């Protein structure tokens, strides 16, 4: 008969993993556990209880109720309170309203939830006077992250996956497989909650977890282990390149001629570091690539970064600068003529024609743009261009599609999705340039008044570079 599992060997593995990453827990180092009540955080908590009893550090937990899953979410919070009361571990429950935050900021549900969760954890860390936040990322999470980033065309930094430590965040069970975690808890009769959103097939990570990784097992017995090991090697390579970039003298970091002489892997890391000096936001590869290309151009120019930051090359000077004002991400009401869309950098042409035949006369005005001809009778109220908002949907092909799913399924990079311009009237979204037009709006054969919209010059052009060809239903 197999022996009953215990958390002791896992605690030893976690201690060695942290030590290898430079973290040696002492009795003075308080640890705050990010506790959801799920299998992973339950397993993490039990491992840390063993280490607490061995080392003597203070241990507490924090649960964030995101306000997304209604009664299920509130039930999870009650489960956490009951469980930790039984274990004698102090617990703080923080409630946040992620949907309301998304409406205010324009962030995606995932981005807002993560930001609010980590803000709550950092506050909890300070309130307790602790040193570390412990999160329950496991080996499957690490493997999914590597695969997901590789499919998006990342470099070594992205392929390095999830680190064991980052700042004051530690991940003690990062090398433990998900099935080992669940098997251990089940064998010991330890309950945990299940988040229903983890089964949503429209979430990219869930699709990788439930569909892709299991199929890769036909090629290699343990794809999770292989991807995790790859991430470790990528991290070593990235650390070497980061060291070379860090050695570039401060006085040379704004000299365009010197920067242009650096190999691309080093140059991009220097740019990343310089951007981080004036912004807490994370620059995406698309922005760093554009800045790198601007340095090597013969002409002067600038590149817009997130957070109201611009990168400019003038003569031999290459600098980042925080702009006084960032382009508004609010809706831009459209009027006939030329309209500038600040948040995406696009230009929109809007004209009203008596019929579809009349649009031929202006067919070459925006010959480099994406253009659509819609029946005026199908567009209601005010027409605006705005970034995608949580819950946005569009009907085409006899089905209702979430805008976020349309963009992700067409391989639009995450860094572009946030500000990708969509067209809407009082009833909702009617055009996602390059991808979809609302069913029933096509005006190419309409007898009456039609509206012609064209867009070019900003993110819609850049998407074509990264996402490839377009497959739009009724674009002209």
Say which CATH topology domain 248-322 has: 3.30.465
| pLDDT tops 60 at residue 1 | no
Q: Could you tell me the CA-to-CA distances from 119 to 94, 101, 116, 142, 425 in Å, in that order?
A: 11, 13, 5, 22, 35
| Residue pLDDT, tens place only, 323-366 | 766 566 778 888 888 787 878 877 888 888 887 766 544 433 33
CB burial of 430-464 (b: ≥16 within 10 Å; e: otherwise) equals: bbbbbbbbbbebbbeebeeebbbbbbbbbbbbbbe
Query: Residues of the chain with pLDDT > 90: what percent?
Result: 50
Which class in CATH covers the domain with range 8-225?
Answer: alpha beta
Average pLDDT on 435-442 reads 90
| pLDDT tops 60 at residue 368 | no
| pLDDT tops 60 at residue 441 | yes
pLDDT for res 71: 81
Tell me the pTM: 0.63
> Rounded to 5 degrees, what angle do the CA atoms 257, 259, 265 make?
150
Residue reference for tokens 């024609």: 353
Yes or no: say if 80 and 223 are a contact pair by the CB < 8 Å rule.
no
What are the domain boundaries of the chain?
8-225, 248-322, 332-467
Say which CATH topology domain 332-467 has: Phenylalanyl-tRNA Synthetase; Chain B, domain 3 (3.50.40)
| Residue pLDDT, tens place only, 382-414 | 999 999 998 899 998 888 899 988 888 877 877
- Measured N-to-C along each axis, helices 139-151 and 223-246 cross at an angle, to the nearest 10 degrees, of 70
Cβ neighbour number for residue 153 with a 10 Å cutoff? 11
**278 vs 137: CA distance, rounded Å:** 30
Tokens of 405: 């799913």
| pLDDT tops 90 at residue 192 | yes
**414 vs 411: CA distance, rounded Å:** 9
Average pLDDT on 156-179 reads 92
C-alpha dihedral, 113 to 115 to 117 to 121, nearest 10°: 180
Average pLDDT on 452-465 reads 73
Tokens of 258: 């010197």
pLDDT for res 399: 87
**416 vs 153: CA distance, rounded Å:** 14
| Residue pLDDT, tens place only, 33-84 | 999 999 999 999 999 999 999 999 999 999 999 887 778 888 899 999 999 9
**433 vs 92: CA distance, rounded Å:** 45
| Residue pLDDT, tens place only, 4-40 | 568 999 999 999 999 999 999 999 999 999 999 999 9
């Amino acid at each position: 008969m197999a022996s009953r599992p215990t958390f002791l060997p896992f605690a030893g593995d976690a201690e060695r993993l942290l030590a290898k990453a430079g973290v040696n827990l002492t009795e003075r180092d308080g640890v705050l556990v990010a506790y959801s009540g799920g299998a992973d955080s339950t397993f993490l908590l039990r491992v840390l209880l063993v280490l607490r009893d061995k080392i003597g550090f203070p241990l507490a937990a924090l649960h964030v109720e995101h306000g997304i899953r209604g009664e299920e979410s509130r039930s999870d919070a009650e489960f956490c309170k009951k469980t930790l009361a039984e274990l004698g571990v102090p617990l703080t429950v923080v409630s946040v309203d992620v949907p309301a935050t998304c409406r205010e900021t324009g962030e995606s549900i995932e981005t807002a939830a993560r930001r609010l969760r980590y803000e709550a954890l950092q506050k909890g860390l300070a309130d307790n006077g602790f040193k570390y936040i412990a999160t329950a990322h496991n080996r499957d999470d690490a493997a999914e992250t590597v695969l997901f980033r590789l499919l998006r065309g990342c470099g070594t930094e992205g392929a390095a996956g999830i680190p064991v430590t980052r700042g004051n965040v530690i991940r003690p069970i990062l090398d433990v497989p998900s099935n080992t975690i669940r098997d251990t808890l089940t064998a010991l009769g330890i309950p945990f909650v299940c988040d229903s959103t983890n089964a949503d097939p429209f979430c990219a990570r869930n699709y990788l977890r439930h569909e892709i990784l299991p199929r890769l097992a036909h090629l290699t017995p343990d794809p999770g282990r292989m991807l995790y090991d790859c991430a470790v090697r990528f991290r070593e390579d990235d650390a070497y390149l980061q060291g070379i970039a860090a050695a570039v003298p401060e006085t040379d970091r704004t000299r365009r001629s010197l920067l242009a002489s650096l190999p691309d892997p080093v140059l991009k890391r220097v740019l990343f570091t310089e951007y981080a000096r004036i912004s807490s936001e994370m620059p995406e590869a698309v922005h760093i690539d554009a800045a790198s290309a601007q340095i090597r151009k013969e002409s002067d120019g600038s590149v817009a970064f997130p957070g109201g930051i611009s990168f400019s090359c003038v003569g031999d000077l290459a600098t980042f600068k925080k702009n006084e004002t960032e382009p508004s991400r609010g809706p831009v009401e459209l009027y006939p003529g030329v309209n500038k869309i600040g948040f995406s950098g696009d230009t929109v042409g809007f004209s009203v024609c008596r019929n579809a035949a009349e649009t031929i006369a202006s067919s070459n005005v925006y010959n480099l743009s994406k253009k659509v001809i819609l029946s005026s009778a199908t567009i209601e109220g005010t027409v605006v261009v705005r970034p995608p908002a949580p819950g946005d949907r569009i009907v085409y092909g006899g089905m209702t599609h979430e805008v976020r799913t349309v963009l992700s399924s067409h391989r639009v990079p995450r860094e572009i999705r946030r500000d990708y311009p969509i067209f809407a009237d009082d009833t909702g979204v009617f055009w996602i340039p390059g991808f979809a037009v609302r069913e029933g709006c096509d005006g190419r054969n309409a007898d009456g008044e039609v509206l012609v919209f064209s867009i070019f010059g900003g993110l819609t052009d850049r998407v074509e570079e990264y996402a490839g060809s377009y497959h739009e239903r009724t674009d002209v």
